[in-house]
Amino acid sequence: MQMKKEYQKRSFYMGLLITLIIAMTAAILAQLPYLAIVGQLVLAIVLGIIWSHTVNVQPQYLSGIEFSSKKLLRIGIILLGMRLNLGDIYEAGIFPFLYASILLSMTLAVVYALARLFKVDKTLSILTACGTAICGAAAIVAIAPLVKAKENVTAVSVAVIAVLGTLFTILYTLLFPMLPLTTYQFGIFSGGTLHEIAHAIAASSAGGAESEDIAIVVKLTRVVLLVPVAVLIGLYVSKTENKTQEKKSFSIKKLPIPWFIFGFLAMSAVNTSGILPEAIVNGSVTVSYLLLGMAMAGLGLKVELSVFKKLGFNIFYAAFLGTVVLMVIGFALIYFLRIN
What is the full DSSP assignment across 33-51? TTTTTT-HHHHHHHHHHHH
State residue 244's pLDDT score.
45
- What does pTM read for this prediction? 0.71
DSSP string of 48-101, one letter each residue: HHHHHHHS---GGGHHHHHHIIIIIHHHHHHHHGGG--HHHHHHHTTHHHHHHH
Q: What is the pLDDT of residue 250?
A: 52
Query: Is residue 256 classed as helix, strand or coil in its secondary structure?
Result: coil
Query: Which residues are within 8 A (CB) of 188 and not within 5 positions of it... i.e. 6 or more apart?
Result: 95, 96, 99, 214, 215, 218, 334, 339
Q: Return the SS3 of 217.
A: helix
User: In the chain, which stretches have pLDDT less than 50?
Assistant: 242-247
11-68: pLDDT as tens digits: 899 999 999 999 999 889 888 866 665 667 778 878 888 898 888 778 788 889 888 8
- HSE-CB at 295 with a 13 A cutoff on CA atoms is 22
Estimate to the nearest angstrom the gap between the alpha carbon of 279 and the chain centroid: 29
| Rounded distance between C-alpha atoms, residue 293 and residue 303, angstroms | 16
Closest CA to 202 of 160, 172, 158, 159: 172
Extended beta strands in the chain, E state: none
Residue closest to 145 by CA, chosen among 162, 126, 165 = 126
Q: Return d(Cα 99, Cα 91) in angstroms, integer.
A: 15
The conformation of residue 131, written as its DSSP 8-state character, comes to I
pLDDT of residue 111: 92
Ramachandran assignment for 182, one of left (phi > 0), alpha (psi -120 to 50 degrees), beta (any other): beta
Query: Cα separation of 260 and 88, whole Å?
Result: 19
